Structure 1
């Protein structure tokens, strides 16, 4: 490759940009050590993403993903019609990761981006990264300065807003009970080893995993982050028990 190729002009595209990482990654690395099985678990995030409908649901062959360590960038040509399906697909990843013992946090915006192979940069990525960094809790922070995201309609209880921003909570009972969980993602009809139509069982396992994570949380910050989600899931789980 000569210098002309290296310096070729590039035009940004308008894309839906999602940046997310795995919370408490250093602790997960320490936990895995050199155990091949545990190290394999660390590669779960990009595997889940590629298997989920977050990319297929976008209806575009130009959907792209770049993963590095605990960080992942997904970008898709912007289409207002595909936004709900993409967010439901990403929610699949969040729920599946939590059931495997990992909590994620993401920022989502629509902005200018260059994303080709493993090269990704642009103002849109800067915004998405900033949203994720300031989001604090395990959830998807939406850029409320983008009208299409601010007006986005999702299933009951999934969308909210607080001091950390406008967010999507992927762990609501209505989502887990909906047909969007595992839709077109798991050909064998299961979600993380559980039949996809067994919403009660999936939600119960999710609650158990969060309880385990809360018990292992080592700092006040991590306890607050996990407890935010655990309390929400526990409250909704009572609906299953009829109490």
Structure 2
């Protein structure tokens, strides 16, 4: 492996990695916020809200991310006055896509909580919204934290596709190096190694977190 190549052009990989991580981080944060809203709408007894959430989730999950990126990049600024920044619009497309998947994760997490929890909260005089906010959702998040972590890992890999609109992420910079160095494989190999290191490290951290959460649950049960 040509280490000298990496040393000479490491700045391209460094900047690209930073952009990839930034987009993925904001994607999972805002995707989670929108996902919570969608999950609550889908669980709502209001047929209108439930219909909107269900339609959004099914449409987003049923169409490719690259199509959504192009629609947001070319269409959204014409509907809403937004900055024309590629990275800004790319991040919006990523978190809108992530929100649909996070919504299903959160919905499953909420439904995994024993219904007796809500009934007990209501019997104590708590409104449903307050019980959901302080009792149900915190417990659900603890159960779905590993799944949300996996969504972050998936986003890191899938965000590579935003290079199609010129966002200078890791994949875009690797492709740029292929053009300026006439080295078709080396930039891709190094980009692949960086993606692997990031996702492998996060997977291990998630495993540690999951084991600790499991251990804390067992210790509570023993008390």
TM-score normalized with structure 2 length: 0.27
Query: Which structure has more RCO (C-alpha within 8 Å, separation ≥ 6)?
Result: 2
- Asked which structure has the greater CA Rg, the reply is 2
TM-score normalized with structure 1 length: 0.26
Determine which structure has the larger helix proportion and give its number. Answer: 2
